[in-house]
Structure 1
Amino acid sequence: MTISDPARTGSSPATAPEPAPRDPPRGFDAVETWVFDLDNTLYPAQHDLWGQIDARMRDYISGLLNITPEQAFATQKDYYRRYGTSLRGLMIEHGIDAHAFLDHVHDVDLTNLEPSPRLAAAIEGLPGTKLIYTNGSERHALNVMEKLGIDSHFAAVHDIVAAEFHPKPTQEAYERFLRAHGVEAPRAAMFEDLARNLEVPHRLGMTTVMVVPPGERIDTRESWEFEGREAAYIDHVTEDLAGFLERLGQ
């Protein structure tokens, strides 16, 4: 386990202001609900399921708006950053059928996604309730969970439809999630691969864990997705989710 270090040093120790004190990272003793993002969190980004979803979103937008794939990709990423999901942007800007979009973009090939008995055992060993909270669809989540062999360990999936299409990272989305499942934020932990999706959970009282795939390359993601990884709202960072959970379950 690695804990992010926010300390910064000035050019002159004699004149530089003291860095603001940072609260110690929150622990897990009080945690009774374990909340996991899905894509690139419960499986490594190297499997590139998100790459397939990305391409299908681009093609959908290209056909919908009658623009080139390059223009569609730029539109997709612009909406993703501004609205939380490309879907939310398309709903607001173009009034699309959200369900048709989700069915299209999540029709992906899971052949290379292998079961993870170690992860399944580590999740099973956690005391309390386990939930999936994804900006994707429930069908996609269930397909991935079944392929990984972890589906029997989760009480529910909270997807973008259950969120009434209010995506992470908005506070409204998290508050809807907490109410829907009766979760007390100070008694919950959130696992995510995007730092920006952990800021609100931390502010609400959750223990936050950033999952960073080992050897991850910035050229496979949008550069802004890497922002915030050293922020004070990240309590813990791990490159090995199964190992991290194994230690918690001991």
Structure 2
Amino acid sequence: MNSRDRVWLFDLDDTLHNASHRAFAELNASMTAYIETHLGLPTDEAVALRHRYWTRYGATLTGLQRHHSVKAAHFLHETHRLPGLEAHLHGHAHDLAALRRLPGRKFLMTNAPLAYAERVLAAIGLLGVFDGMVCIEDMSCFGQSRPKPDARMFRMVLARLKLRPERCILVEDTLIHQKTARGLGLSTVWMQRWLRRAGAARLHRRPVYVSRRVRSLGALLRSPQF
């Protein structure tokens, strides 16, 4: 495949920025507070429910929609306000340079809402780099949220963007998302830049569905033909 024909699908949190540093903790607290308020649960039960839905569906929102008739727009607006978020986000000039030099089309593909994605990209200096953005608002079937790793959503998005799976490369920190993508014919890159605390042994093992492991966006420029 000619490098110009590649299509890159980039995750956002813990792939393009260090969400584990602070953003994830604030999001988890915000979602827990939402569940407490709107479902009337005590904190410990709200935490357990949030985690259970995230583990089962890939996003807490999906479980809340399916089992509690929560409206997606209301949930996303209320939980992603995160005042002061930008003060804790930092970009790097070499990331911007690497993405600009990377041949092929580039799309953001995130389980986060559009407003949050735009705020993060602006704060880290990557807004305007991508040819398009696929956010959680775009990941629905029959009125239900279908975020990564839902295979039907991947097929739907690829069809909508007129992309051939064999030309696409998913760059992600989350393995289960890569497993689904590889099963559909995409190549996969495991971004480990902010995963070092997970343990050296785990990070050195490359699952068969992972095409390559990297720890920087610059490393993608040295990628062999997929």
TMscore range, shorter length: 0.7 to 0.9
**1:102 paired residue among 71, 76, 90:** 76
What is the CA deviation profile of residues 103-134 of structure 1, one whole-angstrom value per residue up to 9, with x for unaligned ones? Answer: 12211212121122111110011112110111
Does 1:59 pair with 2:39? no
For 1:42 and 1:31, locate their aligned partners in 2 and report how far apart those are by CA, in whole Å: 22
Whichever residue aligns with residue 44 of structure 2, its letter is: E
Q: 1:49 to 1:28 in 2, by over 3 A?
A: farther
Question: Kindly tell me: are residues 233 and 242 of structure 1, through their superposed partners in 2, closer, same or farther at Cα, counting changes over 3 Å?
Answer: same
Alpha-carbon offset, residue 62 of structure 1: 1.1
Name the residue aligned to 2:127.
Answer: 151
Aligned to 1:184: 164
Take 2:5 and 2:207, find their aligned partners in 1: how far apart are those partners?
Answer: 22
1:243 to 213, 218, 223: 218
Q: Which has the higher helix share?
A: 2
Q: Give the fraction of aligned pairs with identical amino acids, expressed as a percent.
A: 27
Q: CA deviation at 1:163?
A: 1.4
The change in CA–CA distance for 1:133 and 1:52 in structure 2 (over 3 A counts) is: same
Structure with the greater alpha carbon radius of gyration: 1
Counterpart CA distance in 1 for 2:110 and 2:7 is 16
Which whole-Å deviations, capped at 9, do the CAs of 1:141-183 have from their partners, x for residues lacking one? 1111111111121011111111122111111010111012111
Letter in 2 for 1:148: I
TM-score between the two structures when normalised by the length of structure 2: 0.87
Q: Does structure 2 conserve the Cα–Cα contact (< 8 Å) formed by 1:126 and 1:248?
A: no
Contact 2:3 2:104 in 1 (8 A): no
Match of 1:234 among 203, 207, 210: 210
Q: Of the candidates 182, 188, 203, which is equivalent to residue 208 of structure 1?
A: 188
CA distance in 1, matches of 2:33, 2:2: 42
Aligned partners of 2:90 and 2:124 also within 8 Å: yes
Q: Which range moves more in the overlay, 196-205 or 37-46?
A: 37-46
Aligned letter for 2:138? A
Say which SS state the counterpart of residue 70 (structure 2) adopts. Answer: coil
Does the CA contact (< 8 Å) of 2:17 and 2:91 recur in 1?
A: no
1:38-87 per-residue CA deviation (whole Å, 9 max, x = no partner) reads 11111124432111111111111111111111111100010111122100
Structure 1 letter corresponding to 2:209? Y
Aligned residues: 215
Deviation at 1:218, TM superposition (A): 4.4
2:7 equivalent to 1:33: yes
* 8 Å CA contact 2:3, 2:103 repeated in 1: no
Contact (CA 8 Å) 1:47, 1:113: kept in 2 or not? no
2:61 to 87, 91, 98: 87
**Aligned-pair CA distance for 1:214:** 4.8
Q: CA RMSD in A?
A: 2.2
Pairwise CA distance, 1:231 = 2.1
Match of 1:42 among 16, 25, 41: 16
Structure 2 gaps, min length 5: none
Does residue 118 (structure 1) correspond to residue 109 (structure 2)? The answer is no
Q: Could you tell me how far apart the structure 2 residues matched to 1:230 and 1:248 are?
A: 16
How has the CA–CA distance of structure 1 residues 154 and 243 changed in structure 2, closer, same or farther, with 3 Å as cutoff?
same
Give, in whole Å, the separation in 2 of the partners of 1:28 and 1:117: 27
Paired with 2:146 and 2:197, the residues of 1 have a C-alpha distance of 29
Is 1:133 matched up with 2:126? no
2:206–2:213 contact (8 Å) kept in structure 1 = no
Q: Distance in 2 between matches of 1:28 and 1:99?
A: 40
